[in-house]
Structure 1
Amino acid sequence: MSDYTDLFLDSTSQAQLNTAYAFPIAVYQSNLAQKRLGYVTFHWHEEIQYCCVLSGRIRILIGAHEYTANAGEGFFINTNQLHSIRPLHEKNGDNRYICLDIHPKLLYLFPESILAEKYIFPILHDPNIPFIKFSPHILWQRKVLTIIKKIYAVYEKQSSGFEFDIMRLLLLLWKFFFLNQGAFEKPFPSWQIHYQPQIKMILTYIHVHYAEKISLTDLSHAIFLSESECCRVFKRYLHRTIFEYIIEYRLNQSMLLLISTTKTINTISYETGFSNASYYILRFKEKLGITPREYRRIMISKRNS
């Protein structure tokens, strides 16, 4: 299955994942080197996510915590958890991982079922279980990693009736979760659980207004926090300042325009919130090591080759 080179985010930073309504699971390999910025930016989605790292070393940022997963290891990200996935080292070669995006309704069939009430919802709705890391050195986790790879192989082959095999494997996967939930780490202190909605509101505001001049005063008023609290919580949670994130998001949006339109560099700079083209080019080169014009030429050349 092809890599989703970059996520489509709606104006709330909620990712719109490519899971079909009739069978809501997406199975694919992802390579961080193929992302526009070299990583998956902060986002969240209703789907739960299982990943198994095939090569390289990656960082998973979730809440104020940072985890490392090496080749052979894996992880689970719970529903609606704000997260980002990045290479452990900047510009580090091959960082590939299998990814399963699964809407929870595929597991529990209907909300009032015993599967939902007894086995699925207690983990799905526990704010203290945002993330689980899998090691091949722990028996039940090694079994989980094996099942993730089996699901990928079954999905790739898509033999007649493959959906039955995937359902069987998914339920077995969750059974391992339920039976071993006492071993889960509980990494989120209460302040992170409390502030996650505000962080999502800040991101939503930036994603809606990135093309405009964004003032800290307007932002703080929109989410009902003081300016100082806004800055403190955002930096503590996402490990960067609000200003740094705004620049990052504007660059990401400009890259979309560079590869999908013939607009001039000057026009793109203004449409993505930069005060002038010179400042835009400076920031772009600082982040990617090349100018916007060079980036456009390289991407067009790759697309046509």
Structure 2
Amino acid sequence: MRRELKPLQLADCAPLGTEVTDTDPRMIYHGEMIPVMTPDVAQGIKDARRTLRTNRFRPTGKRMSMIIDGCAGKTTLLLQIGRAYQGLLETERRPDSVWTPVVHINVPPRRESNMDWSLPFADFFGMDHTINIEKRNYRSTDMTEPVVHHMKESGTSLILIDGVDRIHDSELTTAFDYFDCLQDRLRLSIIYCGRGATDIVSEGLHHRRRGERLRTSQQFRSSLPVMEIKPIPFREGAVEEWRSVLKAYDENLVLYHHEPGSLLDFETLLHERTGGYMDTLDQLICQTAQQAIEDGTETITEEGLNDMVVGRQDAEDDWA
């Protein structure tokens, strides 16, 4: 989970006017700029830190799991939490080749048994899960016990599971029984992430089919804490969050003719083009910045933004 993106300085880049290629450091940098801390991400990290801190020092009982739900940006929050948690632990222990406090998997494409659920964990640790390789028999074997042993030895205390929306109805019981078993045996925390994850996890934990409701006198949306990512609004009385995000992007731009603060001149246009969704905003700014480097304008312009094709186009544009 260790990964650090450092800001790029113009003084360390090729001089203005130098012909650039797609592998130029500035082109690469603007392909994935420094992650911007949105209000939802900041709140999610704070909420997760509080829960994980309590979990660490709870001597008995199951550790509380968490859910990340909402629109695009969920995986960003998931990874930010994982890195922040590992960074906190690294202040108490020097990292080594064995210690793996955070494990991150994506829901695999085929999940019919416990064996299938064990394989993404084995892959994370680089374990070979095929048998009879000499005879060209590449059938996989159940890796649950080796995975559990490895997690115990490596001090794993947090599992990040991304893409729970890919778990089908018929797989809910098997999947969540498996996750529940890992949590009981290893005393660790789990964060489930995916579109509609709140309902999926609730259904999986209570062994219900999707769409059914608990027949109780009191309804709860989820028995677990939910961290939700929402589009950032930009309307009268709600403009500061959007402006704070644009300001962060503005400060991260590495363009020779960029005037500090000028990205905010396009705050309305940027929200109209993206709907406040961070994935679309990031793509739009990154593409425009790369184009500005390539064509020599070296600044973000309205013409440059309008020339980019990204998702969430205004429906009116389709008829223009």
Instruction: Tell me the TM-score normalized by structure 2.
Output: 0.28
Q: Which has the higher contact order (CA 8 A, sep 6+)?
A: 2
Q: Which has the greater radius of gyration?
A: 2
